[in-house]
Structure 1
Amino acid sequence: MLLKLSLTGIKGRLKDYIVLFSGLIMASAIFYMFEALATNKSFVSSNSPIRMASIIFQIGSVLLGIITLVYIIYANNFLMSMRRRDYGMFMMLGAKGRKIAQLIAAETLVIGMAATLVGTVLGIGLTRIISNLLLSQMDIQVKQFSPFYLPAVIVTVVFFMVLFVMAAGVNQYQLLKTPVLQLLHNDQQPNHVSQNKLGQLVQIVLSLIFLTIGYTMLINVATYQIAGLVVALVTIVLGTYFLFNAFFGWMLRLLKGNQYIRNRGLNNFTLAQLRFRIKDYTKMLALVAMLFALALGAITVGIGYQSEIPAMAKTMAPYDVVLNQPNPQARQLAKNLTGVKATANYDVKEDAQTVYYRATQLKKNPIMAVQYSNDRAKGIKPVQLKTLQKGNVAALQAIQVPSQFSKDVKVVTDAEFSQIASGTIPIKTYRVKDFMANLSVIKKIHTQQVIANPELAKGQGALMDGSKYVNYQMANGMFSGLEFMGFFLGIAFLAMLASCLMFKILSGAASDVKRYTMLAKIGTRRSLLKQSIAKEIGVLFCLPGIVGSIHVLFGLQLFKQIMLNPYQNLWLPFTIFMILYVGYYWVTTWLYQGIVLKTVTQ
């Protein structure tokens, strides 16, 4: 009988349970996606681009575990908020507390186990899709990677089962310690918002001071270094907390005091709701803002490295392609280059000690070199012929092969050049508009160059190869692991944190049913009630999102020392963030309206 009543209760709230079940599925899928990478030591150790970020994988695994724990707590609170009154009714009808506790444990474990298994299967599919997409975008080949990785499956299942067993124990304890009347009338408990104007003013001032100090430290991180990072972390966390605990409440009070704003529609009611919500959700909103900043920052930096890698390669080599002693295949492939904006031809002769260049050719087509200022590349400029003749020949290495680096260089007239007995070596340089658009062709040309010049393939010769493609490979190897990790971890954090905020808001929906029912009874249109809910939830989503985004904009200052432009293509990660965030906002609003307006007629 008890089981039948329980199933009837679940059926009556089927929509809410589907959302809870779907959220848990996504949580376990995201967790598996990450663990499939983080726990696969063979994959990490056998791939140099990913191996660069092995420590980040380990740290990310711990962080993801923590945020998953927070997520399960809020999802569990949402489950209990839906069923607390039902359990109270069962006990009023004579059911024993222990039986109800067993029923709670069974519901929690069954939902958890089913969601974990389905989520793991979904995670395997998503891992294949997303990893293939990212790896193709990053132009790296990986070994020993499979979307299905048994240790990751075991870690995911065991981790979530431990969490759900803990959640079931907490639910049982709360039920047995809570009086029946409190279970029945839990949604009627009074809500008090304490007001201390002096304390609020002090917190507002402190929030602005702390955030100013934190942002200043981030902007001047090169000066303050580690100490500045520590100070920034502490002050920004404190500033964010005081911002939600006092500043936003003060702003809402100002809006509520404005007669024009207060008297429009249900604004007076909505503002009153928000003042309580923000005060009650202070810790949650501050945590979400900080972790959203970390997640969005990870995505921003990860995507930023994708555009940074070719830019870094450009600062190390002035030419996109150099054909020095090419074979016929390399010459033929060069014809497939697109967007060629400049070419130059040079005739070279060499003997055992010297490499000879024609002055007329160098004057007509000066050697290009990367110019630096304050250790930063400032563009590509021609090298004056007189500079080369003074013996400063480092720029010539851009068109040489390693065997020529150690030889002397002489710039001679055409007449002197023709008298040199050795054969002429043709060199041709290419500069294209878009290196990445020609990457596949350039890769093939480089392969042929290695075949024609075996010294480029191994030993010291490979290290001395200064072509743009080799520099691109080096930068890709160093930073693609960070790009991979940043995107993967950032998306996981954003999805889970948005879910935490959603379940936190939904867990308080039951207490609002009577308020909205009362408004409906006095004649308030359903459309106005929906607007009020949309505004209230919109503010709760927007505030941490805005604060977190501002944190990211200042936090990117940290990467100025290791990235050419950390703010490049900033619109892309923010667009991903907005799409995900708006999706969770829409789902939360729809569910909240379904809960509180269930009994409200049109």
Structure 2
Amino acid sequence: MNRGLYGKLAVNNIKHNRQFYLPYLLTGMLTVAFFYTMLYLNHNPGLDELPFGAMDVELVLGLGAVIIGFFSVIFLFYTNSFIMKRRKKELGIYNILGMEKRHLTKVIFLETFFSAVVAIGGGLVAGIAFSKLMCMLLYAMIGYHAEIVFYVSESGVVSTILLFAGIFMLTFIYNLFQIQLAKPVELLHGSSQGEREPKTKKLIAIVGIVTLAAGYYMAITVDNPVTAVLLFFVAVILVIIGTYFIFMAGSIAVLKFLRKRKSYYYKKKHFVAVSGLIYRMKQNAAGLASICILSTMVLVVISSTVSMYAGLDDELAARYQGDIGVSITSENPITEGDALRELVNRTIRQENRSIKEEQGMMTLTFSCISEDGNLVIRKHDDEGDYGSGIIMLRMITREDYEEAYNVRVPELSDHEVVLATSDDYDKDTITVGDYTYPILQKQHFSSENGHWMDNQVYYMVVNSVEDMAPLYEAQKEIYGKNASSYYYSLYIDIDGNREEKIACGNAVSAAIGASGMEEGHDGKYYIMIEKRAENEDSFRQMYGGFLFLGIFLGILFLMITVLIIFYKQISEGYEDKERFAIMEKVGMSNEEVKKTISAQIRMVFLLPIVTAALHVLAAFPMIRMILAVMNLNNGRLFAYCLLGTIAVFTVIYLLVYKMTSRTYYRIVGRQIG
């Protein structure tokens, strides 16, 4: 066979099947462009000049490139498998007409090669052309102002070509196996496989319900953000498995249940819709489950990143309790704490700034071992496996506790304490080492009042710093040089704009350095200084990077969702065409056909979006706590962003439904015209 003929056949095949290949190539180009853009931005030399947070932004962009690359593999394999299924009949005809499988292999190779050249080449051209615009968008989101010089990332181009060339090569190998292992008759009927009525798989349905319920239970009952972070991916995997199993087995069980209900089933529009879905649900369920999972990803990614960016002020306030924060670790807390406070106040006045609010707090924190409700002070390298029995005991004065956490504490007599924990402590006294303290009042805290890291911390509220002294000496005697010191922290809010606050904070740092306090006396204390305004840029860069990545991934997931819906509608259109033609011949009117199609499409389209909304609502408590780790404790803001994202996505989803339904109608035939 003439070599040039293979190329002509490959090009003609792509043109003949352009309704399948065009969306495939366009989305392939977009995926390539997205991947290159992430690499381009990640290696952008301008990011190295960021005054703060360069490493954070580069880490976020690097993570984005990995995620886009991972989903590109899944996405291109899915669309390629769909196209091959639709083309098996065509390839079977070629085989029967005399083309050997080795000839078909050459044609498929050239088709894959041409597709790869168009997708990779077009994607790189688009990525390079719009790279500067994407860089401008990123800089705007992170609040960075710098000159953007156009350039082409050579490493980004090479990495993109290698990755996507590898993906297309894998799709060719998959297609090659499909051709080599199939007989001509199987190729002829390949596009109509999967029409047998699937069996009701009760075990799979039960496993799906159990795994989905387990994922929901983790998300709803988690009560600590640190735990939420650790369990998040476990819950996600359980929900994904549960979703696929329930769609594949549970949907069939529900449809068969509807078929048994004669009052519902024996109506024209329900009869055709339900019977048609039952026979195709084996292949349809996986697509619906994929749409549901991807829709959930879009909702979670967009709402989370938007809320983090919108809540920047709340996050700064949660991380930095004052415009200026100064802390000192000391063995002589009262004298040195007072001296530090006086120095900071004097420097602020010298900078012509006024103090709006001031809060000081003295604490003593050391670790203990919980044994039968008693706290034992013992070195951790002693014999024994303490596991979760390690408790951090944090002693704090009554006055500081009330001011810091905005709670009321009753008057305390000698040795009386108030105990605040995240668990249910059921004793009336607490024993620490050789000392036993009567508990006047017990309080419970959680992430709701800002103690998101304190699941293993006991707050013991005492009258004064002097009441901490016995336990300070006890833990010092046991822990030696590793013993804890008193920790005094001072948070001050001042007036002025951002630049004035930064200047005042720098003056405080300089004053502490000039006083010699920063070095301490023989290393017995250590001073740390934090300035909220100075770190605002770092926060904006990190959360702006997350928002940029969230928008990119949201668009990617939405694009894949739309493509799956589009291909599903085309696939079902061709499968339904002959069925509806037969129904028309036996007397079914155009109006009845339209109602039947509408009922079937509504059923298929509503199921994924409704299930995705349920997934997101169930995940709300867990995601909210994970955002708390990112310093966002504003649950109301996240709720508003989530509801807004759901509303916008639903509108887009319905538009996709309208457009793809028209494609379905055109394929099915004139009876619905």
TM-score (norm 1): 0.70
Matches within 5 A, 1:150-229: 150-189=154-193, 191-196=195-200, 198-199=202-203, 202-203=206-207, 205-207=209-211, 209-217=213-221, 219-222=222-225, 224=227, 228-229=231-232
Matches within 5 A, 1:321-332: none
Task: Identify the residue that residue 52 of structure 1 maps to in structure 2.
Answer: 56
Output the amino acid matched with 1:455.
Answer: A
Q: 2:539 aligns with which of 457, 468, 475?
A: 475
User: Does residue 519 of structure 2 align to residue 515 of structure 1?
Assistant: no
Structure 2 alignment gaps of length 5 or more: 325-341, 360-402, 407-444, 451-487, 514-527
* Change beyond 3 A, Cα 1:253–1:232: same
Output the amino acid matched with 2:292.
Answer: A
Output the amino acid matched with 2:537.
Answer: Q
Tell me how far apart the structure 1 counterparts of residues 561 and 100 of structure 2 sit (CA, whole Å).
37
* Change beyond 3 A, Cα 1:354–1:592: closer
User: Does residue 254 of structure 2 align to residue 251 of structure 1?
Assistant: yes
Tell me how far apart the structure 2 counterparts of residues 37 and 237 of structure 1 sit (CA, whole Å).
31
Percent identity between matched residues is 20
Task: Identify the residue that residue 646 of structure 2 maps to in structure 1.
Answer: 574
Matches within 5 A, 1:125-524: 125-141=129-145, 148-189=152-193, 191-196=195-200, 198-199=202-203, 202-203=206-207, 205-207=209-211, 209-217=213-221, 219-222=222-225, 224=227, 228-229=231-232, 231-259=234-262, 261-314=264-317, 367=357, 372-373=405-406, 397-399=492-494, 429=495, 445-447=497-499, 455=507, 466=531, 469-470=533-534, 472-503=536-567, 506-507=570-571, 509-524=573-588
Tell me how far apart the structure 2 counterparts of residues 90 and 353 of structure 1 sit (CA, whole Å).
88
Q: Secondary structure at the match of 2:179?
A: helix
Tell me how far apart the structure 2 counterparts of residues 147 and 572 of structure 1 sit (CA, whole Å).
37
- What is the CA-CA distance between 1:300 and the residue it aligns to? 1.6
Tell me how far apart the structure 1 counterparts of residues 511 and 590 of structure 2 sit (CA, whole Å).
76
- What is the CA-CA distance between 1:547 and the residue it aligns to? 2.9
Contact 1:80 1:171 in 2 (8 A): yes
Tell me how far apart the structure 2 counterparts of residues 100 and 524 of structure 1 sit (CA, whole Å).
42
* Change beyond 3 A, Cα 1:531–1:460: farther
Task: Identify the residue that residue 561 of structure 1 maps to in structure 2.
Answer: 628
Contact 1:64 1:493 in 2 (8 A): no
- What is the CA-CA distance between 1:580 and the residue it aligns to? 4.6
Tell me how far apart the structure 2 counterparts of residues 123 and 204 of structure 1 sit (CA, whole Å).
41
Contact 2:320 2:530 in 1 (8 A): no
Q: Secondary structure at the match of 1:564?
A: coil
TM-score (norm 2): 0.63
Contact 1:29 1:120 in 2 (8 A): yes
Task: Identify the residue that residue 80 of structure 1 maps to in structure 2.
Answer: 84
Deviation string 1:464-483 (CA, Å, 9 cap, x unpaired) is 5756x445334324433333
Tell me how far apart the structure 2 counterparts of residues 477 and 560 of structure 1 sit (CA, whole Å).
17
* Change beyond 3 A, Cα 1:465–1:158: closer
Tell me how far apart the structure 1 counterparts of residues 511 and 502 of structure 2 sit (CA, whole Å).
13
* Change beyond 3 A, Cα 1:30–1:503: farther
- What is the CA-CA distance between 1:179 and the residue it aligns to? 1.8
* Change beyond 3 A, Cα 1:79–1:280: closer
Deviation string 1:147-180 (CA, Å, 9 cap, x unpaired) is 7423222222332222222222322332233222
Tell me how far apart the structure 2 counterparts of residues 20 and 546 of structure 1 sit (CA, whole Å).
27
Q: 2:662 aligns with which of 565, 586, 590?
A: 590
- What is the CA-CA distance between 1:303 and the residue it aligns to? 0.7
* Change beyond 3 A, Cα 1:250–1:482: same
Contact 1:450 1:456 in 2 (8 A): no
User: Does residue 595 of structure 2 align to residue 543 of structure 1?
Assistant: no
Contact 1:74 1:504 in 2 (8 A): no
* Change beyond 3 A, Cα 1:496–1:187: closer
Contact 1:211 1:240 in 2 (8 A): no
* Change beyond 3 A, Cα 1:513–1:497: same
Q: How many matched pairs?
A: 507
User: Does residue 165 of structure 2 align to residue 113 of structure 1?
Assistant: no
* Change beyond 3 A, Cα 1:7–1:207: same
Tell me how far apart the structure 2 counterparts of residues 224 and 318 of structure 1 sit (CA, whole Å).
24
User: Does residue 139 of structure 2 align to residue 104 of structure 1?
Assistant: no
Structure 1 alignment gaps of length 5 or more: 322-349, 379-392, 400-428, 431-444
- What is the CA-CA distance between 1:304 and the residue it aligns to? 1.0
Task: Identify the residue that residue 398 of structure 2 maps to in structure 1.
Answer: none
Contact 2:136 2:148 in 1 (8 A): no
Deviation string 1:49-96 (CA, Å, 9 cap, x unpaired) is 352154444444333222111111122123223432222222332233
Tell me how far apart the structure 1 counterparts of residues 134 and 292 of structure 2 sit (CA, whole Å).
26
* Change beyond 3 A, Cα 1:396–1:260: same
* Change beyond 3 A, Cα 1:3–1:535: farther
Tell me how far apart the structure 1 counterparts of residues 255 and 286 of structure 2 sit (CA, whole Å).
18
Contact 1:299 1:491 in 2 (8 A): no
Q: Secondary structure at the match of 2:493?
A: helix
Output the amino acid matched with 2:623.
Answer: L
* Change beyond 3 A, Cα 1:229–1:450: closer
Task: Identify the residue that residue 384 of structure 2 maps to in structure 1.
Answer: none
Tell me how far apart the structure 2 counterparts of residues 520 and 49 of structure 1 sit (CA, whole Å).
66
User: Does residue 90 of structure 2 align to residue 26 of structure 1?
Assistant: no
